[in-house]
A = this chain, B = another copy of it.
Amino acid sequence: MIEDLKRYFSKQELIPAVVQDARSGDVLMLAYMNEESLTKTLETGYTWYYSRSRKRLWRKGESSGNVQRVVSITGDCDDDTLLVRVEQTGSACHTGAPTCFFAEPIYRAKPEAE
């Protein structure tokens, strides 16, 4: 089942993982994976990422308990992004918000044109 994962990391060591709630379709967050974190995710069925600021792997929810059970992982057309559909326990964002995209939009289409 685990394909050759190296093709995802041929251009860069870290690739973005778009994390989507499998039920609601909400985009929860974006995080980065290296080959090791992707391997651990596939082995455990729960998300592991690579923290660019802390320069280490982290298991999502390791301190908060807000784990993400993986429903599916799909690569994109040029093998440099992953779409990770999950069942989120608790809130995805470290702020406690349900998703990391809770801010007021910086742009909204004008209502009359929608």
A interface, CB within 8 angstroms of B: 1-3, 5, 16, 18, 20, 24-27, 29-30, 41-42, 45, 69-78, 81, 83, 93-95, 97, 100-109, 113-114
Contacts and interface: CB of A to CB of B under 8 A. Distances in A.
Contacts of A77: 93-95, 97, 100-103
Given A1-B107, A77-B100, A107-B70, A30 B16 contact: yes
B27 A72 contact: no
A106 B38 CA distance: 11
A76 to B, nearest CB: 4
A78 to B, nearest CB: 8
Nearest to A29: B76
Given A74-B104, A74-B105, 14 more contacts: A2-B106, A5-B106, A18-B18, A18-B30, A30-B81, A41-B107, A70-B109, A72-B108, A74-B101, A76-B103, A77-B93, A77-B95, A77-B101, A78-B100
